[in-house]
Amino acid sequence: AGADTVKRAVQLDAASRFQESLVCYQEGIDLLLQVVKATTDEAKKHRYRQKISEFTFLSDGKYHKQIRIEENATGFGYEKLFHGYLTEIVSEVWVEDPYIRQVHQASRYLLYNFLRFCEMLVKGPCKVKRIHLLTSYDEGSGRSQQMTALEEIKQSLSNYGVTLNIDFSSSIHDREIRFNNGWMIKIGRGLDYFKKPQGRFSIGYCDFDLRPCHETTVDIFHTKHTKKM
C-alpha cells in the first residue's frame, strides 16, 4: 500500500500537481516507515530505507524536494524550474538574494537575471501584483548603476500593474524565493546559476533553457510543512 501511494505521488509530482502529490508522499512514506519498523529482515529493511531516502520528505512531515543541477547542464531556465509552483493564485513574491547588483560581476549578469525572473512572473499563469526584493547595496561606484537599473525595472513593472518593493540589508546571506501560495525555493547560487554565454550571438544567450549552468542545488519546500515563512 505504501509503495502504491508513493507511485501515485510520483505521478502527481510529474504532472505538477504538487499539492496532491504532497499528501500522497506523506501517506506513502508513513506506511513504508511502518513496514521498516515491523520487518526483521535486515536486507528488506535496507531496501525500504533506500527507497524512502529517494523521496525527500522528512519523517517529521516536512515537505522537501531537492533538484541537483549538474555542471554545464541545460534545460533549467526559470520557466522550467518555477512553472509548477506559480499557480494562478500567486499574487505576491519575495526574493532574497544578496547579489542583485552589478550588471557585470565576475562575468555574471545578476541584474539581468532578476529582470528575466520578473519577465517570467509577468507572463503568468500567475497574477503577480507585488514583488518584494531584499538584496545588498553594491560597493563603490557600482551602487549608482545598481540603483538606476533597479529603478528602471521597478518603473517597467508598474506598466504591467506590478509593484516592486526594494529593501537592502548589509547582513543578508540566504538566497530564497517565496510565493504566497506556500511554496519556497532555495537555490544554492540564487538566480545566478547560469554561465556566461560564449558570445552575444551564441545559442543560449537569449533562451536560458539552452544556457549551460553552474553546478548547484535547488531545495523546494512547502511552508505549510515548515516553521518559517
pTM of model > 0.85: no
Q: Quick one: how far is CA 66 from the chain centroid?
A: 10
- The answer to whether 210 and 64 have CB atoms below 8 angstroms apart is no
Query: Which helix (H) or strand (E) segment is 25 a member of?
Result: helix 18-38
Highest mean pLDDT (candidates 103-117, 149-163, 180-194): 149-163
Please say if the pLDDT value at position 166 is more than 50: yes
Could you give the percent of the chain with pLDDT greater than 90? 45
pLDDT digits (tens, 9 = 90+) for 169-180: 989 888 999 999
Residue 55: the pLDDT is: 57
- The answer to whether 66 and 217 have CB atoms below 8 angstroms apart is yes
Please say if the pLDDT value at position 64 is more than 90: no
Top-confidence residue, 75 or 5: 75
Topology (CATH level 3) of domain 1-60: Methane Monooxygenase Hydroxylase; Chain G, domain 1 (1.20.58)
Q: What are the φ/ψ torsions at residue 22 (nearest 5 degrees)?
A: -55, -45
HSE-CB at 97 with a 13 A cutoff on CA atoms is: 26
AA identity, residue 77: G
Q: How far apart are CA 139 and CA 50, in angstroms?
A: 48
Confidence of residue 221 (pLDDT cuts 50, 70, 90): confident
Residue 52: the pLDDT is: 64
Top-confidence residue, 109 or 183: 183
Which residues belong to CATH 1.20.58.80 in the chain?
1-60
Q: What is the mean pLDDT of residues 134-159?
A: 90
Topology (CATH level 3) of domain 65-225: Endonuclease; Chain A (3.30.870)
Which residues belong to CATH 3.30.870.30 in the chain?
65-225
